[in-house]
Structure 1
Amino acid sequence: MQDIIQFLINNADVLVKVKEGTASLVGVNDEELKAIFEVFFGERISPMAYYWR
């Protein structure tokens, strides 16, 4: 998880794409993704928002 956080800090555009639904974080489960969104964006995501379209 620490490597993922470091990657997202260095590549903030990737997290924006995940939030928009145009990218996915492979190997990150829904609870981890919710925590990441809370830390980076200060918001909770809806259960369907973490699926890649």
Structure 2
Amino acid sequence: MQDVIQFLINNSDVLSKVKEGTASLVGVSPEELKAILEVFFDEHIAPRAYYWQ
């Protein structure tokens, strides 16, 4: 899972395609996919960039 997350961080275009449903993550369960999308796209969960500056 850590490798998948790192890949998505480095390839944000792929993450967008997964969110749109035009790409899929092989080997990732539906529950894991839901969690990944929530973390990357739920503004209440994901840390704001300005927080880390």
Identify the TM-score tier after normalising by the shorter chain.
0.7 to 0.9
**Structure 2 CA distance for aligned equivalents of residues 15 and 29 of structure 1:** 16
Deviation string for 1:1-53 (max 9, x for gaps)?
0000000000011010011111110000011001101100017xxxxxxxxxx
Deviation beyond 2 Å, 4+ runs, structure 1: none
**Structure 1 CA distance for aligned equivalents of residues 21 and 35 of structure 2:** 17
**Structure 1 CA distance for aligned equivalents of residues 33 and 11 of structure 2:** 16
Consecutive unaligned residues of structure 1, counting only runs of 5 or more, are 44-53
**Structure 2 CA distance for aligned equivalents of residues 25 and 32 of structure 1:** 10
CA-based RMSD of the aligned residues comes to 1.2
Structure 1 vs Structure 2: percent identity of aligned residues? 84
Compare CA radii of gyration and give the structure with the larger one: 2
Consecutive unaligned residues of structure 2, counting only runs of 5 or more, are 44-53
Aligned length: 43
**Structure 2 CA distance for aligned equivalents of residues 2 and 21 of structure 1:** 21
